[in-house]
Structures are given as structure tokens and as C-alpha cells.
Structure 1
């Protein structure tokens, strides 16, 4: 019988749902392994910082998601030492959501692709510009390090670990037992546009307000610059520095954000929504939407709409 020891690090501010959920899910996985005659069992334990044991031999160390940034943004040499020791002994390091910051700060993501919660992507890039972040991915497996995206991506991490150390069949059975979809998806399916407005640039803020009020109308950088009596170059430079997007990029994200709301919450047709948010070319709207979210507007509606009738009746688009 192969015993897979898994150490779950219960660091300060760690999500207790994830910490204890992983242990319980591994218990269910063990039941399935027994039923399917798999010679694997998972032994998951919860470990607090004060009692991390570098002498303990484990196969996987998991850094769960957290509920605020009090801990993961700090330096934690004791934890880095533990992770390094475990990795040197052959352990797989795994993180969910903000746990990637801990791995990055400790140098465990150097020269590797990784992911974290889409809302934390800008902060991650700012802190670790040299790392290869893919915020669209739910799971990035680099062999000795696995990172998972969103706050609930500890479930995806769970299925990945079970699949690696038992079989994909058992991971699939586990997802069915837990009634959790582990089919293909990306974080960009769920991404929302949350613009930065806390930047202190009055001109950029006024431009944001103007775009918020007029996003559905034909808009040019020239017209906005003339409206605020500045040059296009000055407006573009200050807007990009303050907001992190060009005006055209911001306008596109704003239009798509409102399109998503209309798709999710109303029964309006995709063509009507396209016009309503400022796209006169329906084909262009579809291409931009697909590039941004990885789904067509119709696929997005089927996945997320609160209006089941619209989702079922929407013709292919």
C-alpha cells in the first residue's frame, strides 16, 4: 500500500474552509481508492507554523488560500526554510490563490510558470515582475510546484493531487461524489473588471467618470482630451500611469463588463446587447468577447445566466 503524506500549512489568515476541507476530501478519496481497489491512501495532516517539522517526510506540502493579506505579503523565513527542506526531500509544493505569493517570495517559482487569483494578478506582477504569471489558468503544474488560481481553487488542487498520486479515474469519481465540476475552465471565465480609482490623479479620474457615463457612445481619445482641455498625449500618458490601461483598453473592458451584466441578468439578445454597450459590428464584439473571456457570448450566457429561458433559447452566436 502506497501512503501519500500531505502536509497542509495552516498559516495565519489561511482559509479554514480549505484547510479542513482538504482533509475531509482526502478521506473521501481514500474511500474511493478502497472501493476501486487502488493501492493508494492519502494521509493529510494540518500543520501550524510553530510546529512545522523538517524531519517529517511528506510527498506534498499545500499552502491554502487566505482571507486577507496580513500574512502572505510578509517575509516568512521560517516557512521558506520548511518549504525548502521539504522540496529538497522530494516533496511537491502546491498553493492555491494567494499562496502563490508565499512560494514566489521564497524563490520557489523562479523560472516557472504559475497562477494566482485573477484579482491579485496586478499585485503579483508588481511584486515579482520577473516571474511568468498566467492569471487565466486555474491550475499550473510545473512538476515540482503546482499553483492554483481562485479562492475555491483548492478544490482543483485537490483533484490534481489525487489524479497525480492515484489516477484520473479516482479524481473524476471524487468530483462526482462531491458534486463539483472539475471539467476544463479558465479564470478568465470568471474575471470581473475592477478598475483602479484610488490613484490620486484628478485628470485620470475625470476621464474615468466620462467613460463610465458615455461608454456606449462613439468615443475617441481626441474628443476626451478636448473635453478636458488637454493634449491627447498628456491625457494618454497620465491615464496609463494612473489606471494601468490605455483609454481604448479601458473602454473595451468597460463595455465588456456591462455586456456581461446584461448577458447574465437579462433576457436581451446578444445582438441587442452588443449595440447597447457600444459595438456596432456584431462579429467584432464576438471576437473581442471570446479573446477576453475564453467563451463566446452565448457560451457565457449558458454558463452564468440567471435567465434560464434566454440561455436555452439563445441561437448560436
Structure 2
């Protein structure tokens, strides 16, 4: 009962915080496609019930979309030189979820709901289904007309220093606080050992492990990701002990030297981001534990408004994987 009231309180706070951003607005499809959000939610839930790890995939897919060309569905376009074919986007998941939701939307209200909006809604629903917060998604995005693999260089990398991460986020109008909060999405999901192994065996070409890794955790990581292992399918949870639950434990792990990605662990070492991580890490329970949920929701609304196309800009794709 207390948990239910707590979640309701978070949602209420977020409702008050939602404002029209970048030409987007709450309830955009209320008259033109009133079942739009219901259709997306039911599609995401169907896939989530079969494989809960799809939640992290959808969240990452939306993030990668917004960081290149803005939140315009450009990452959904298929093709040899399209954005999704870039090395930085290898391993992206959730395309079939968006495609299925879009197909049902086209059958219900053709030519109305953009693929970019479907993706923004799917990311929200993925977090909610993972016991995370929910929020009202301002809608009205239109789909972009450009999708190029060469533009993916703006995406953050696991090896980025905090300075580089800061600049990439700042280029999108996002602050240090937004950076730390949004990276908290790593509370769900996994990464491939190929992005971790260098920290375990030959960090900065010294032949040693990254000294910031907790020694007990180092042994666990080396077991999961053996040295010179040619199996590229090995994966490690980004949030030790809480991979499928959307919570603030990710920050406790970073604080304690249990960050999996170098870029994550560096957030604890940097003066500008240290206190933000510490504040989230120290508030895992009770009403204060709502801080991350509330701040993440606000940051996602801000992220999903980056570079949006509205009005007559862009198009409403019939099929998400190709331009009309």
C-alpha cells in the first residue's frame, strides 16, 4: 500500500512538472488518435512479458535516437549507410517493438502518429514496467528525413572521460545533472565484455586492471569476462545485483567502485559529478529514494525534446524503417 502511494506521489509530481517543450504538448493525439498511448503500451508490455531485458533496449534506442539528429526516429531507418548501421549503434534492440506498435497505429489511425513519438512512449513504458517511474510524454514529434551513419560520432562512448561526456551532453542542451541522471538508465541492462575487458587486464596499456575497480568486484568481472576470450556473446550486468529493476542502486555501485563501464566509474572521480552520484547513492529507500525517479523523469522529458521536428517539418512515416 505504501509503495503504491509512493509511486502515485512521484507520478503526481511529474504531472505538475510537464510543460510543453520544443513545440510538443501533452495529449497531442487526444482527438486524432485517442488510443495511441494505449496501443504503444500494450505492445511494449507484450514484448516485456516475454523478455524483460527488452526494456533496456528500448530505453537505449530512444537515447541513441535523440543524440543524433534529435528525437526524430532517424535511428529506425534501415540501410547500409543509415544511422542504425553505425558501429556505435551495433547491438541496438527494440526495432520490432516499435514496428509492431506502428503497424497497429496505422491500422487504427493511419498517417497520424510519428515513429519518433512511438519510440518516446515505448521508452517511458519500458521504465515503468521495470518498476521505475512513469511520466506524461509531451508529444507531436515528426519523423526526420535524414539518417546517416557518419552522424553517430556524437554518441557518448564507454571510454569517454567526464570532460568529453560533459561536452557531448552540453551540445544537446543538457547539464551535468542531466548527464548523471540519464546515465542512471544503466540501472537496467547489460553490456558486452568487449567494452569492459581492457579495464580488467590492460588498463592504459599497463598490463594491470583499472585501480578504481573494487577488488572483490574485479574478480567477479574477470570470471564473466575471461582474458583473451573470443566469445563476443558474453555480457555483464551494468547494475550489479539489480539488472532488471529500475532503481538507484546503480549509483551505489558506482560509489563503491562497482561501475562496469569506465565512463560510469569516472562520474564518481570527477569533482563536478561526484556529489550528484553521491546524493543518488545515499537515498535508496523511503521518500528520499524518490529523488532519482523524479529527476530521471524530468531529465527524460528534457532529453526527448532535443532537436524535435514539429508542425510541417519532417513527415509522419507509414513504416518506421523507411522514409515515405
Under TM normalisation by the shorter chain, which class is it?
under 0.3
* Structure with greater strand share of residues: 1
Point out which structure has higher relative CO (alpha carbons under 8 A, 6+ apart). Answer: 2
